[in-house]
Every structure is written in C-alpha cells, then in structure tokens.
Structure 1
C-alpha cells in the first residue's frame, strides 16, 4: 500500500506540490494523471525518498521508504528508463540489481523472459537499446525483488502497440494477485483500460480522487459546433458553465435542451449534442485540468542535489 499524507514541496517561493494526499490499496491499479509540470514526478520522487518533502509524509506498506530495510523487496520503482548505465549489458544491469537486493540469480533469467528480452538482446549494451527495450529492462528491474508494490512513471513511452498491450496485462495480473500499482502515464486510453482508481493532479494540487466508475460517470452535455469560438461565446452569454472537451467541443453543466436553445439563440450550428454520461477519461481530464495553474516541476538534477544534501 502507498499512502501520501499532505505532501508539500517548495523551492524557495515556488510551490511544486501542495497538500497532496491519496492512498493506493492492495489489489488495485491507481492511475496518476496530470498535465506536464503538474507535480506527478515530484510527488512520486517524494514517495520513494529521492526528493525530501517540505512538509507531509509518505509511506510504503506503512513505513517511510527510507526506513524500509530492503526497499527493492517492498516496492519496485521505474521513474526514468534512460537512467541506466549505458556501458553494461541488459543482463549485467539486471544481475547487479539482483545482487544488491539479495535475490536468487535465477530471478535474472526469469525477469528477462518475462519482459521479452531474449539472450541476444540481453547481451547487448544498454546504450544500444531502443527506448522500448530500456522500458522493458526497467520493468524487469522493478520486479526482480518480487515486491508487493509497483510505482511506474510513464512506463509505456517507447513501447509499440503490442508492448503496451503486454504491459497492460502484466500490471493487471500484478494487481489481481494482491499487488499495489501506482501508474503515471500520458496515454489516457491505456490508463482508462487498466486503472481501478484515478488520482488527478493539476497545479500541484489534487483535483480528483476516486474510483474510475465514479469519476467517469459525469453528468451534463457534450456539445461540438462548427465554430468552437462561437459556441463558447453562446454558452457564456447564456450563463451555462462549461469546460473544454476533446475535439474542440465543450462539456456543459446543463441539460441538452438548454444547450440547444443557447446555440439556436446565437445562431451557432451544432455538429454534436448528447448527454455526457461516461464521456470518457479524455473529457474528464480536460475538464479537471484546463485552466489550472501548472508550475514547472524542478529538474531531476535539482532534486538529486537536494536529496543528497538532505
């Protein structure tokens, strides 16, 4: 289980993350979503001890990451697939991880097979790997300690459609066997396909936290017009609250009849008008995050320096 309690991270006058609290329970995949710079990576780095929080705390299985006797046996972490020694082979990198964690050497072969890095690929140097191959190696490293918890930041980057499908099944199986998964990704359809719960962050603050079904069961009206500008103006004149939706449309907090009357009064030609129930994760994401202040997250190098000093 992962628990974040009132996590805040400030860099001088800049607040990257503010009062972030959520929990990831065993047996679930939690999708952690937000625009670039919203605070996702900073939050995940605080959970695994790479960035010390200004205030608040985070625990893994009830214990702060830094107090875990052998963290890799409790939580498998993949924050940056490119942060691997380019001169080592894939097998060497994985064997070193196994030695550090104190697991049997047989786990190396088992994990290479699991992530589809055959012996020929395993003998190649990591510097010659494609991004997708580095992602697979990173997932193998996260899993080699047989942890109960996984925390993955953008693990699907560089994977082809077959690889994304494979990863979805792997994470679903891990959770179904009682594991806890915290997954950050920009691939909203993949999050929607695999996640049980959603945590959405914008401007360094949590703006939504709940089960996928609860958050996607939105009411209101989804509307699109030939002119997006004219549509937004018509809705504003009618006093109908709205948020941008995918495809240049709007998600309106009103019934379809009211939206249709507003468009007709303004002479706006509509191309779509329907109830927004279950409109999808993309519409939810845009409605929750558009217009939010999204401070730029500090660089990893900055975080590493601070963590080292601390």
Structure 2
C-alpha cells in the first residue's frame, strides 16, 4: 500500500464497523440517492421546460438542484458501494479528486444559496426595481461568480492538502476524503495548515451564513410596516430558503469553524450536507411552493398526454 515514503492507497473506515448497521445504511442511503436524483432532476426538467426559468428565483433554484446533484454524486455512490465491501479503499489520486470536487460543488452551493437570498431581498424590499436589478445578465453573472468562487475555494483546499507528506498510517476515519481527516494522517506539523483551513472553509461558511441571516433581518425589517398578509407572504417566500440554509450550514459550521480536529460525530453530521440536504431541497422547494407544483403538474401532464 505504500510506495517509497508515500501512501498510495487510503483505507476508509466508513460509518460503522457493525455489518448489520452497514446493511441498514446501504438500504437507507441507496433510497436517499435515488430520491436525490429523481427529485433534483424533476426540479431541473420542470423549471427548464416551463416559463419559471425566466424568473430569477427559479433560475437560481435550477442551478441549486444541479449543484446538489453533482455535489452528492461525488460522495454518495462510493459510500453506498463501500457499505457492501469488507475493505473500503481509495487511491491517493482519487482521494484528491474527491476532495477537490466535493469542495468545488459544495462551494458553488453555498454561494448560490447566498445569491438566492439576495434575490429574495430585492424582490421583497425593492419590488419596483426587481426586474432591472435581477436582469438575466445579472443572474448569469451571479452564477459565473458562484462557479469561480467555488473553484477558488476548492483549489485552496486542494493545494493545502496535495503537498502533505503521508508516510505512516493510511486509515481515514471518515466515509470520504476531507481535509481534517487527512491532516490527522500527515506526518508533519499541520497546525498552520489547520488554521488556513479554518480561514478558508470555516470563515467562508460563517460569513456566508451571517450574510444570509442579515438578509432575512433586512427583509423582516422592511415588511414590518406592511399588512399581516404581506408579512405572511414574505415569510412564506423565505421560509423554504431558510430551512435549506439551516440544514446545510449548521453541521458544516460545527465541523469547519473549529481547529483541525476530528470527532466521531463528524461523520454523522457530514451526512446532513452530503445526503440529507440534497434530498430534502427539492421537497422543501416544491411542497411549499404553489408555482413550482403547478409547473411540475403542467410539464409532466403534457408529457403524459403526448405519449
């Protein structure tokens, strides 16, 4: 497993050593991944096949579903396969690829959620200027900025890890390759790199979360003078987005905002933003959204009639 002084293969310890729990998790996560694929594809097809794609909120939701699908696919398929195998291994190169893609799509998702919060702020607080401010060109620029930001974030994490020397233990106490579990295996002093990871992942997640919460504070502040019906509509419009933000950010902040240490609970918490959030996003945005439900009904009823 070692070549010279470098580890070429890592062993993933996975979620549990209990075979019965692994079989149960296999069934559960397979169901979750199928639900993620079907749910997000339904949202993407329904939005792109209807007039909703012209509205900024659904334009961003379309890309959020796409990033959800890509993000979870960097981790979940291998997790499902590993749950049925006795020896869970991943090559060094595949580990680095997984690290890069996970943070790339995760970074994009965080930034898209921020863009969606800005869209809701403009829609509720500046309705007369909404169409001008949130033009299609502006929306495309936001998505491009999200992809660029995700790449910069991911490249930073990748560069912090790629040069680490691995010459001893090669067992990663996780179900996928992430920065902190890898820092634990490096045979060099990683304190400085650990603080750089906090500055990158931790502070980005924290600042983004604060910006998101502030946007809702401004929204509530602006609608306070309006009627109860307007307040209710504003809260309903933002409710879905707030739910998604909390489910995604709360566990991510707990893991990345602290110094470079790992806890057994990290694996369970990571499930929230790698599997649970991508699975619930389509449900949260469709079950509480009349326009989305109507669009899905029209699109899929039309396809059924044509067949």
TM-score by length of 1: 0.24
Q: Which is richer in strand? A: 1
Q: Which is richer in helix? A: 2
| Larger Rg belongs to | 1
